[in-house]
Structure 1
Amino acid sequence: MAELSEKTDRYERLLSEAVAEATVAGPAETPLADAGADCMEMAESYLEDGRHFRDDDDLVNALAAFSYGHAFLDAGARIGLLDVPREGHLFTV
């Protein structure tokens, strides 16, 4: 159980840092910018959900939520909807 708790905390920190670093890439008021904003919104929502699950001691769903949130950021970055740092540990692009 300690390993799950540590992993959940690590993924929460990773997603929180990644959300802070990512920005929408497309020009404002375009479908690309809207799609980038949707990716950001989903990541932020999963971060909030994961924190809620963790507060309820539901570490499995918290970890899943943090993982899904980060997946939205990675996918958005890979297809050019989000600008993210290319160096470091936050993204796989």
Structure 2
Amino acid sequence: RVNALASFSYALGWMDAGICLGLLSSCGCGIPVPATPEPHSGDGNGTLREKTSRYHALLSRALGSLESAPEPDTCLSRGGARILLIGEIFRARGAGLESAGDDEGALVSFSYGFGWLDAGVRNGLFRVALNRELFTI
């Protein structure tokens, strides 16, 4: 369940980045936010907490690893800046949820934000200056 949650959120980030970049079209996008967290069994909480912590670190490392690839003040550089902003927003959102004990919501936020960054790398908006192993290039 934990892996499915992370994978779904990551894929949703990719899809929404594609919509933002004009590569896909859709009438709706955005991260789904459940009204109330689902209860977890005792065994899953340790796995969820550990994965949430790893994805927080992953997103933080990813944000520090990228440089803009397009020329400054171009449409593509502004698109890259927007994707970085989305990554930062979802890192902050995830950190707040993690601090509040909502590991599920935090994992969704971290995975979603990383999906945006990874899509930006694959679409040529960033050069990977550090930690190339983090990205699907």
Superposed pair shares fold, TM > 0.5: yes
Q: What is the SS of the residue equivalent to 1:89?
A: helix
Task: State the distance in 2 between where 1:2 and 1:47 align.
Answer: 21
Corresponding residue of 2:76: 32
With the length of structure 2 as denominator, give the TM-score of the two structures: 0.65
1:12-91 matches, within 5 Å, as 12-85=56-129, 88-91=132-135
Which one has a bigger Cα radius of gyration? Answer: 2
Cα deviation code 1:24-60 (max 9, x no counterpart):
1111010000000011110011100000000110111
Unpaired runs of 5+ in structure 1?
Answer: none
> Which one has a larger percent helix, Structure 1 or Structure 2?
1
Unpaired runs of 5+ in structure 2?
Answer: 1-44
Residue pair 1:12, 1:47 contacting (<8 A) in 2 also: yes
Task: State the distance in 2 between where 1:88 and 1:35 align.
Answer: 21
Partner of residue 5 from structure 1, selected from 49, 55, 66? 49
With the length of structure 1 as denominator, give the TM-score of the two structures: 0.94
Q: After TM superposition, give the deviation of residue 89 of structure 1 in Å.
A: 2.8
Q: Count residues in correspondence.
A: 93
Range with greater deviation from structure 2 (23-32 or 82-91) = 82-91
In the TM superposition, structure 1's runs of 4+ consecutive aligned residues that sit over 3 Å from their partners are 85-88
Q: Name the Cα RMSD after superposition.
A: 1.4
Residue pair 2:70, 2:125 contacting (<8 A) in 1 also: yes
Q: After TM superposition, give the deviation of residue 87 of structure 1 in Å.
A: 6.3
The 1:83/1:4 distance shift into structure 2, 3 A limit, reads same
Q: After TM superposition, give the deviation of residue 83 of structure 1 in Å.
A: 1.2
Task: State the distance in 1 between where 2:130 and 2:94 align.
Answer: 25
